[in-house]
A and B are shown apart, each in its own frame.
Chain A
Amino acid sequence: MPMLMSPQANSPQSSMDAYLAELRTRLRALPEEQITDIVEEIRSHIRDSAGSGGVMTEAGIHTALSRLGPPSALAANYVTDNLLARAQRTRLPWKILRGIYHWATLSVKGVLVFIVCLAGYAFGASFFIAALAKPFNPKVGLWLIDQDTFSLVLGMTSAIPRGHELLGWKLIPIGFALGGGTILLTTYFAQSCIRRFRETQARRRLGGTAQ
């Protein structure tokens, strides 16, 4: 950033600008409109608390910035909770996964929940899609290839699978029920994990920062 190289590198204004630039970078997982809103609010806060009568003092800015804490920590307070709050209120799998993906960057537990949910949605979606595609393509179905090898053919293959198809037209009701059920179950699981994680975070914030 060229601004930092300028002779006024240590001026109070530039330490505020550097802080806000870093905050903006760390908030990048949020929608642009929201990022600007947050950054401008923090700028307004620093201006209000760092000076009197509209003039900011260096000491004032220093105090204001240290009270806000490091930009990375402040941004994390916004981002994780914000994405998880959205994930908790939505029924859309990709929004849920997006929230959990961010959680996964923070903790091992998040990674595990992400993997389970990804697998759950993939499994559910396969059966759902198979049920949808069955009327258009008879190859679609659950095939028993060998003694114990199952293969769910979704109609992408041109070769007729070996073995025999297990469900026939029953694939349609079973696919919708199994697929839909797995998707709902995964959503339920994801949201209850998110709820518990957010409660723990809220408790930690309470215990950790207020003295």
Chain B
Amino acid sequence: MAVRVLPPPPEPADKWEVQLRKGCLELAILAALWSERLYGLEIMRRLAEGSGLIVPEGTVYPLLSRLKTEGLLSSEWVEADAGHPRKYYRLTAAGRRRVVEMARFWQTFSASLDHLLAPVRKENR
């Protein structure tokens, strides 16, 4: 009996990159809501335009629901011109505190990583 060896399944483009993007998703969503209320599709468009974070809908909506359960977001239904209501999200007070904390951490973290990366960049310019 001939045994056919199947090719290995294709690896995601770059696992590390994917993980990194995913890890930043929560911060990106909270940050997108900093200055105004938005509905789900708007949030996804905002992420795609602002940071190249293209995230599947099947991930974003449950995540929004989780952030709401955790008390970081609140939501309201608003009648829209489109002829159907839309569910808008906004940051709660706890959500605003959380973004500030995350932004502060991000600042420190990215600065120290930049510092480490400086020689790498210098030699590969």
Task: List A contacts of B58 (CB < 8 A).
Answer: 67-69, 73-74, 77, 209
> How many angstroms from the CA of A48 to the CA of B84 in the assembled complex?
9
- Tell whether A151 is near chain B: CB-to-CB under 8 Å: no
- Tell whether A211 is near chain B: CB-to-CB under 8 Å: yes
Task: List A contacts of B62 (CB < 8 A).
Answer: 74, 77-78, 81-82
- Tell whether B125 is near chain A: CB-to-CB under 8 Å: no
Interface size of A as a range: 20 to 34
Task: List B contacts of A43 (CB < 8 A).
Answer: 84
Interface size of B as a range: 20 to 34
Q: Which of B2-48 contact A (CB under 8 A)?
A: 12-13, 15, 18-19, 21-23, 25, 39-41
Known: A205-B22, A206-B22. A68 touches B57 (CB 8 A): yes
Instruction: Determine if B59 and A37 form an interchain contact, defined as CB atoms under 8 angstroms apart.
Output: no
Instruction: Determine if B56 and A44 form an interchain contact, defined as CB atoms under 8 angstroms apart.
Output: no
Point out the residue from B18, B22, B40 that lies within 8 Å of A45, measured CB to CB: B40
Shortest Cβ distance from residue A131 to the other chain B in the assembled complex, whole angstroms = 36
Known: A67-B56, A77-B58, A77-B62. A86 touches B18 (CB 8 A): no
Residue of A nearest to B16 (CB): A207
Known: A45-B40, A210-B59. A86 touches B19 (CB 8 A): no
Instruction: Determine if B85 and A44 form an interchain contact, defined as CB atoms under 8 angstroms apart.
Output: yes
Known: A48-B86, A78-B65. A209 touches B40 (CB 8 A): no
Instruction: Determine if A211 and B61 form an interchain contact, defined as CB atoms under 8 angstroms apart.
Output: no
- Tell whether A22 is near chain B: CB-to-CB under 8 Å: no
Task: List A contacts of B15 (CB < 8 A).
Answer: 207
Q: Can you show 30 pairs from A to B with CB atoms below 8 A apart?
A: A38-B65, A40-B85, A41-B40, A44-B39, A44-B86, A45-B61, A47-B84, A48-B41, A48-B86, A49-B41, A68-B58, A69-B57, A74-B61, A78-B61, A78-B62, A78-B65, A82-B66, A85-B66, A85-B70, A86-B69, A202-B22, A205-B22, A205-B59, A206-B25, A207-B12, A207-B19, A207-B22, A210-B21, A210-B55, A210-B56
Query: Apart from A68-B57, A207-B19, A210-B56, what are 4 other A-B pairs with CB-CB below 8 Å?
Result: A42-B61, A73-B58, A82-B65, A206-B19
**Residues of A that sit less than 8 Å from B by CB:** 37-38, 40-45, 47-49, 54, 67-69, 73-74, 77-78, 81-82, 85-86, 202-203, 205-207, 209-211
**Residues of B that sit less than 8 Å from A by CB:** 12-13, 15, 18-19, 21-23, 25, 39-41, 54-59, 61-62, 65-66, 69-70, 77, 82-87
